[in-house]
Structure 1
């Protein structure tokens, strides 16, 4: 009994000492213990993601790959796999596992090695968020006390959710959501049992047991996890047998980019970095939803790429990229090894020419694929001499290629063809004209080679794209679509530039008095200059400023009328949107909303709306249009059906300023439709084309309007146009402004509808606009052209612009703002009248 009492006293003393030691340890580390309540609002470091408006992932920025998941969204078998592997008694203990600690202590006493840490999942959460991984006693003490405090502050599910989202699982993947995507390209619910077991085995050795780098060791770890699940009765013997025999299918999967749009994603990244700072932007888990429409963006990218290739190829083939061999061919492995030193580029792949026949060539790609390129894929390749000169059309493949050459090839959608990296640049941007949402934006041919965003950064001369705004100024001063302006050489120069500036037409032809609508549709230079003289230079510049152009970019001379100002494509498409929406200048925007890591909206766009703000109490009304009283009833045709005032928005809405009247916007739009559809009567010999007649054959819609633009020596080419729902601008040119786009001669191997002669807006930028708008508007019904209130339609004489009683090809119905329509009838054939056109000075009319 005496020894027993001594043992009891000793044990009791040891217990007291243990309690005292624990208390002492607690109070010793207490000042260094962080507040575990911060875990309730912990902000996991997640990357910045940029999306299209319809939810397609465009880009991801940030070092750590993490896809936070809620506890309820984790498959039960994955939870079982993790718990059976890491902490089988997780739902039974209170932060520390006495059995595990006893086992670890026994191993330490018997072996002297700290081979088992006995850390529960709660302890691992404590270590992951607040401590380091160093194996020291003081760190272990802190870990234990933190684990106990965490168990009191959070539920078991909350603790496990933090663990599942925090753990590093290799390949920059943090958390099980990211691991599923990185290793298998799947969502969690799509994982199979062996894949779940593989992920569950990663936390303890994410590098050593990595299934990509070390598949054998990863398989052993996976099978051990499965054995633990079998031991805990969470899987059957049959499931275990099947899962352990499953092959390792893990491979690296990048971020699930659904839409490659690097220029817009870079704009979004820049915006958030400027707003929040780089570190916060990259780790705060923000999701930026842009205004980009993924379907339209793909069409825009394809249209720009196809158009750049077309321009580049019609100017000729610049030859091989290098020579791989001359006399003795290399073996296949050596060829592939050399080709792999060159990366694929914009759909083009490097290839070696193996053999050349009369009308075909056999090539080997860097992927080891042998391809036969037939004559249709080669015959474009006449020799490039300069941007203005090309060699003769080749007749055989041997005139183009030689075995041993390294070249570029691409699949154009129909067949493989010889290709080359284009040197020309281009940009395309589209807006919703009703609120300014940027629906597409492509800042260049290749973001990989140039991050320069030509939509927002490149200021290039506008050329004839400026003429609709010049005519707007003139019409606001009194011109109409029927006004005759003298299409004759200008002998009264503008001397503001210091020299005698005498603009000429291109081509250098003059037709005398010509109606304004035809002058705009055919982009007649001298008529635009006379229009700016009529409106006055100051008035024209003020009008351009209203449309959003920078005053600093507008020279104070008449060259403005022909597009000498340098502007960005984004400014241009914004200005053209004014015509599409009835006269309102919307503010372009590209971010619809920004969400934080928890899905809460922290910023939302409030776009300017192209409509009239009206209180709810006001009822939409229409008014009758009085017919022109002095005209016979038969002269009034297609009387303008009055439209309701465009009402929209709410008390929080912002409204775009109306910078021109709805009537003026309608008339300019009507003239811009003639740019595409022309006019006159072809069967009577009076038909004529506008400069963009190709658009009518490709887009095949009557609700489109547009304007071409070409600068001196074809250094910049433009096409801007719209329908009521979408406005688009395309620019093509060289980044080096000293380079001309040049001209091409007729290619005997080309198609009948090939583009040749001097490059210009209609031929160089127009095809991209045509292809894009054709696809973008496909399936949408045409929007009928309905004149707004205040517009009348009267029959005019085509020669004089005055009223006509005739109903033949010499007359047509034309729109006017009520009160501006002609009041005189055209003279009969035997009558003479000199007062049939308007110009700035009588003596300069026919010179």
Structure 2
């Protein structure tokens, strides 16, 4: 037994390490060979069937409208095949030097290059160098998907060898140069030569040939139309490679590198026109962002969109009509100014019905002001960032705010017309676009809460303090649309759409479905929906904006019996003018301004933008039955005092009582504490001077009576009014007190001064009925007789205190 154990231990000690290593190595090699063989077999099994027709040119992508009628095809016929013997030797050498120097030596795979690329990758710690031959690149574009997997690489290698067996080197090179993508929708060397340089490939010089040879690696990155510096650097790399392989001399390369390439191709001069260009451009940009240029321009996609050709046509007609614009001129870039943009969408689906990004369209995928321009929204931002969040937190259209000259911090906020109305309801503040009221409402609601509400409505350009502590939108100027960057017309349209859609925000979309060349659905778009506010909030904001159209700053957008809600917006420096509005069926936003922002004379949101809006919407809705905005459950009607926002008190004048809509639970429960009549200047609502042309008696809440003398008409202040309430104590009243009738500047009659007494009453004790003695009643003053025969009466042209004016907020500075 002992001898056996000794023998075992001795055998273990004699185990040869070298032999063990050989055995393990062989075992691992067998596993590796087996795995590699399995992977190769698996890859070959799934490899696309050999089909030479795949090497033919690819298909264009077709775009369809909402009724599945074709609008256009993207870059149809933008490939011009060319025979290999027509391609200059310098072009061939440029491609060989930068893409595959041993092309005419290998059989589809360049093993030396593969090893070199592997070592370079190991040294760099990442994929730093490619190893694909020209043949492999042709295979990748013709047969395979762009995914980077080992399986695809194996398939690529096998197919490359098959191509090499079936075609000559010159044939492969010809297919490659006719197949590859050069950017700007150009496929093949001949099309690229025309697109970039406006000439046939046979006429290219050395630096132009090198520029084109450098594009296939990353067409979007090296596109000289988009980035001349990057394109030139890439060209020079090609030239240096040609020197390295002795295709050109050092002197030829230096001369070519010293030259600036001039782009004289079709991109710079002309392009094939196509229907609805701005909408098509937006679709194209959206597709490229998702699928890449290569798939969009040659993938044979079928793209079904939300475009309504009738609405799009009306929008383009409005934008092409010079009568819808102020006096215009062409800027130094050849673009007519001022410019404008239009977006129309369905608020209930988020489908974009029309997009017009400018007054003219001169090249493919040019700047689209409707979808890409960030501009200051002015007062059009008030419903989104001021009154929407205020109503959402429980305020009501009949709530009041004190419209007086106001200073917050070092900045004084002013109204566009220099007039101040005292206590004013939210509804009137929206209708007449009162700036001071908007600032105070935002301050009461909270700036952060207000901006967060706007972000829920899809406004993505707001800058918050956590992103930029030094320059952001967390200030009261945001209430007036004074933003760091501004807003895009498309985003503002979608935000207004939420008010028109029971408070549900829908991310706008222009694409419904995308199919590949075989009819397979690769994308079925379902717009994202978010409940941004209560249904009652959306309805109340809509009701307030209806007032702006009914009697406020937006009357020029009225569609007659058809209900319209909308808001004007004009920056104080008149650089941007907006009208954003909607009916129960459609939302439309119109912006107007110079590309390089500058003052526009007499251009307001309620002028040209509203005119364009009215044309588009009246045409689009022609024949559509009129329907009202749907009132949700939870809306009630109540009468309140328009000076206090509370239930009427005993002394509230009848003219100050308003009936308005409320969300259930927000009707005030307290009564108005009382009013005091004060004679004030009709324009400034301040105590009058002897220079004030018109004076009126206004009722103010107790404790809110004006104390400042009129600054509009500087003069000597009038004697202060007697304290108390003027009452008529004429004996004919039999000892009962009645409110005295005091004539205004355009009235005569009234209670004689000798029977008028100012009397102080305790709360609730003042009379509410006015004097009813016939001889004391007020009558209008007759027009003054100038004594000039044949003259007509001139109507009073003084603007009443509550008259609407152009919607022009003060210049938004940071408070």
TM-score calculated relative to the size of structure 1: 0.48
